């Protein structure tokens, strides 16, 4: 039985929760083994090793974020074709995304391994942690093919409506990562290189598991030789969606790299404090990532099916869920933030603990802004306006750059703590009007005949309830689907 899920029918709130919760557990598992790395590094190797890993964080996000963004972008056309019921184009998109991912991963891995030492020098990484930082990040970059493997396959599975299966494989990878950490760091005394190697191996395993599962369970993905062939038009559409999404992550990360350079000048103590605080904050931000990825799939399927009236309903539901969670997260971090930083720091690091707690409070107080960033941005991407994501990332970059050149010199560590809240605010100021513009364009370019209303779909489904095979009346006809896809451009912006 295939695990696909059609998000073009049913109550948006229920669909979003059903999709987001399994995906959230996947993100939590992913962060869990990242946190275990950091815990073991901080507890067993000391604060200098922790700072060494943390000093690579923005550079890691710059490169790995691009990989993840590209894979997410490649998966969006799959969701759109699935929503439109065009299985042939769906399979061609999957096949060409595989070829593109192989090309991207080989080129990026080679280039970053060669240049990463110079990147760390440009970022003014403190001399006492330079060698450990280089050792850690060069292994991560050498493992970029594993990053592409998992993120592409997991993205395709989620585009078909199955957000649960990748969670299972990530859970397996998480426990494998812990075992490898204990063996490589504590047993083999490999230091930070053991932490990096454990992360790469674990991600590769989760990717291979996704591959075997897809081959066995998804008949819709069984491709003919023709569908596997390189198609320049399909590849161009995939790049038109994937590259802007990857650049959105990278443009955002450029601001983080600039900010990291300023933080590095504050000294190892500040780097260690922000590293520990960031690890706690990222864990609490997983629900926002889950909501965002859910909205990308939700938007892609519904625009593919021509159900534009469902898009706004879904966005309002996602924002409501995010705001409620933000209040809960703030209360938890106010009460338990210092204790949570002890996962990565020793009690003797009293000043660093206080600094980490300050960082956490600044971030938690602005989580409501992050709700809008993720839900609106990913929805816009799912609708096909991926270029707008670059502009959102540009606004974040501008904010972080301002903090790096103005706030940090004037306010020191407190100025660095203001970076993320200000970046989220700047992104929201662009994304909210951008969303309304996207909807106006879609309503103009998709004719009323093709964009069936939700009420009409409900009437049709009621008329044909009990029929297992889809009829031409309860979904847009093939000609209407074609009409929708012709009007839908991947780079409307």
Annotate 337-369 with b (16+ C-beta within 10 A) or e (fewer): beebbbbbbeeebeebbebbbbbbbbbbebbbb
Q: Are 198 and 180 in contact (CB under 8 A)?
A: yes
d(CA 141, CA 119): 12
User: What does the chain come to in residues?
Assistant: 493
C-alpha torsion sign, points 322, 326, 332, 337: positive
pLDDT recorded at residue 34 = 66
Residues of the chain with pLDDT under 50: 1-2, 448-493
Q: What is the dihedral of CA 360, 363, 368, 370, to 10 degrees?
A: -130
d(CA 324, CA 340): 22
pLDDT recorded at residue 256 = 66
User: pLDDT (tens digit, 9 = 90+) per residue, 236-267?
Assistant: 888 887 887 787 777 766 766 777 777 777 77
pLDDT recorded at residue 47 = 66
CB contact set of 124 (below 8 Å; sequence gap of 6+): 261, 264, 265
d(CA 348, CA 207): 40
pTM, entire model: 0.65
C-alpha torsion sign, points 290, 291, 297, 301: positive
Q: Are 381 and 296 in contact (CB under 8 A)?
A: yes
d(CA 380, CA 181): 39
């Amino acid at each position: 039985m295939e695990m696909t899920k059609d998000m073009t029918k049913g109550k948006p709130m229920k669909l979003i929760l059903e999709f987001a919760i399994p995906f959230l557990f996947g993100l939590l598992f992913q962060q869990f083994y990242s946190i275990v790395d950091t815990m073991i590094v901080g507890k067993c190797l000391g604060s200098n090793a922790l700072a060494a890993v943390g000093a690579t964080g923005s550079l890691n996000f710059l490169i790995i974020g691009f990989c993840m963004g590209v894979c997410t972008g490649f998966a969006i056309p799959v969701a759109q074709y699935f929503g439109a019921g065009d299985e042939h184009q769906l399979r061609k998109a999957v096949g060409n995304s595989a070829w593109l991912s192989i090309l991207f991963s080989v080129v990026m891995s080679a280039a970053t391994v060669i240049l990463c030492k110079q990147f760390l020098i440009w970022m003014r990484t403190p001399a006492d942690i330079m060698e450990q930082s280089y050792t850690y990040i060069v292994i991560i970059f050498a493992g970029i093919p594993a990053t592409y493997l998992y993120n592409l396959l997991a993205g395709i599975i989620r585009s078909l409506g199955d957000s649960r299966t990748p969670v299972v494989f990530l859970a397996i990878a998480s426990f494998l990562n812990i075992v490898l950490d204990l063996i490589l760091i504590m047993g083999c005394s490999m230091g930070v290189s053991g932490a990096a190697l454990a992360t790469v191996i674990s991600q590769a395993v989760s990717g291979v598991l996704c591959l075997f599962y897809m081959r066995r369970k998804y008949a819709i993905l069984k491709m003919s030789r023709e569908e596997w062939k390189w198609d320049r038009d399909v590849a161009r559409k995939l790049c038109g969606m994937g590259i802007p999404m990857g650049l959105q992550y990278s443009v955002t990360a450029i601001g983080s790299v600039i900010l990291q350079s300023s933080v590095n000048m504050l000294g190892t103590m500040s780097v260690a404090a922000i590293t520990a605080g960031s690890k706690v904050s990222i864990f609490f931000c997983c629900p926002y990532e889950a909501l965002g990825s859910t909205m990308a799939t939700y938007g892609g399927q519904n625009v593919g099916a021509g159900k534009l009236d469902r898009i706004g309903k879904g966005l309002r539901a996602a924002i409501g869920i995010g705001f409620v969670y933000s209040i809960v997260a703030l209360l938890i971090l106010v009460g338990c933030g210092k204790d949570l930083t002890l996962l990565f720091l020793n009690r003797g690091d009293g000043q660093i603990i206080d600094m980490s707690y300050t960082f956490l409070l600044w971030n938690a107080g602005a989580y409501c802004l992050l709700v809008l960033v993720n839900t609106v941005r990913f929805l816009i991407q799912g609708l096909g306006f991926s270029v707008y994501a670059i502009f959102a990332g540009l606004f974040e970059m501008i904010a972080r750059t301002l903090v790096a050149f103005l706030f940090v010199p004037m306010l020191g560590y407190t100025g660095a703590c203001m970076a993320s809240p200000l970046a989220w605010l700047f992104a929201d100021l662009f994304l909210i009007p951008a969303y309304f513009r996207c909807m106006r364009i879609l309503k103009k370019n998709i004719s009323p005949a093709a964009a069936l209303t939700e009420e009409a779909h409900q009437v049709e489904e009621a008329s044909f309830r009990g029929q297992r095979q889809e009829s031409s009346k309860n979904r847009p006809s093939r000609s209407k689907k074609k009409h929708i896809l012709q009007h839908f451009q991947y780079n409307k912006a």
